[in-house]
């Protein structure tokens, strides 16, 4: 169907560099964060996530002592989440179609921000109403080691390095699969001196962003 997609596992597809170049997306992330700032959310178990998050689109994913859920206003400000850029919506829909999931209309985009040393433990994305809908994930900036466990939390591992511009799509049999992101490594000096140096925070520390597009409701 699409010669440029690589199979990671059943119903998990990697579209290498499908979102490249990502420079314009960084400007859009900055605009979103100016309205709905990145924050580290509390988990129901009482911890705090190392990854900082914000959202755009009609619905945003949120976590606090009460649990995980989608909310239509930013609990930090009481205002609606910033709009999802039209180009992002189109990218998510066309990437989903290329991976075999036509008709994807995301109503939520979670924006994750990873500094060096942050990680995301094994989890599955299970808070959406219709689990027949796929998820599209876009990686920007620093590379990450993405771990696919599949049906069980300690399931057989597939490891994928996600690079700037890579798009991962999964749905179908993989929709409730466990996955994780390993601790983000410091970039090597040669790579960061190159033209495609990673984005940085206000103090110059390099970053990774990940956008996950879902149909929540």
Interacting residues with ligand MD6 (CB under 6 A): 112, 120, 125, 135, 137, 146, 168, 179, 181, 210, 212
Q: Which does 168 bind (CB under 5 to 8 A by kind): ligand MD6, Fe ion, none?
A: ligand MD6
Of 25 and 211, CB closest to Fe ion: 211
Of 81 and 149, CB closest to ligand MD6: 149
Of 93 and 181, CB closest to ligand MD6: 181
Distance CA 22, CA 26 (A): 7
Query: Which among 10-18, 46-54, 117-125, 194-202 is the span making contact with Fe ion, rule CB under 5 A?
Result: 117-125
Query: What's the Cα-to-Cα distance from 89 to each of 1, 11, 146, 212, 213, rounded to whole Å?
Result: 22, 21, 23, 11, 8
Instruction: Draw the binding track, 183-202, toward Fe ion (x: CB under 5 A; -: no contact).
Output: --------------------
Of 160 and 187, CB closest to Fe ion: 160
Q: Which does 112 bind (CB under 5 to 8 A by kind): ligand MD6, Fe ion, none?
A: ligand MD6
Q: Identify the residue among 74, 98, 107, 125 touching Fe ion (CB under 5 A).
A: 125
Q: Which residue is nearest to Fe ion (CB)?
A: 125
Of 61 and 81, CB closest to Fe ion: 61
Q: Which does 135 bind (CB under 5 to 8 A by kind): Fe ion, ligand MD6, none?
A: ligand MD6
Q: Which does 54 bind (CB under 5 to 8 A by kind): Fe ion, ligand MD6, none?
A: none
Structure tokens at 3: 């010669």
- Residue 165 beta carbon to ligand MD6: minimum distance, rounded to whole angstroms: 13
C-alpha dihedral sign at 139, 145, 151, 157: positive
Of 36 and 167, CB closest to ligand MD6: 167
**CB-based burial, 114-136: b 16+ in 10 Å, e otherwise:** bbeebebeeebbeebeeeebbbb
Cβ burial of 38 (10 Å; 0-12, 13-18, 19+) is: middle
Residues in contact with Fe ion by CB under 5 A are 125
């Amino acid at each position: 169907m699409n010669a440029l997609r690589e199979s990671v596992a059943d119903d998990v597809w990697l579209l290498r560099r499908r979102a490249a170049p990502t420079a314009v997306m960084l400007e859009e992330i900055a605009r979103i964060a100016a309205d709905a700032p990145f924050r580290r959310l509390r988990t129901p178990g009482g911890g705090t996530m190392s990854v900082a998050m914000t959202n755009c689109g009609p619905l945003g994913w949120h976590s606090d002592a009460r649990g995980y859920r989608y909310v239509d206003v930013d609990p930090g400000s009481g205002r609606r989440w910033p709009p999802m850029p039209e180009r992002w919506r189109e990218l998510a829909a066309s990437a989903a179609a290329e991976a075999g999931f036509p008709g994807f209309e995301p109503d939520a985009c979670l924006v994750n921000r990873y500094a060096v040393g942050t990680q995301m433990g094994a989890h599955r994305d299970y808070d959406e109403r219709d689990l027949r809908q796929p998820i599209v994930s876009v990686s920007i900036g620093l590379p990450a080691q993405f771990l696919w466990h599949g049906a069980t939390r300690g399931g057989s591992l597939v490891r994928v390095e996600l690079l700037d511009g890579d798009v991962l799509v999964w749905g179908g049999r993989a929709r409730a699969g466990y996955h994780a992101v390993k601790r983000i490594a410091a970039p090597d000096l040669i790579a960061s001196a190159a033209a495609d140096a990673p984005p940085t925070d206000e103090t110059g520390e390099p970053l990774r962003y990940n956008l996950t597009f879902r149909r929540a409701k």
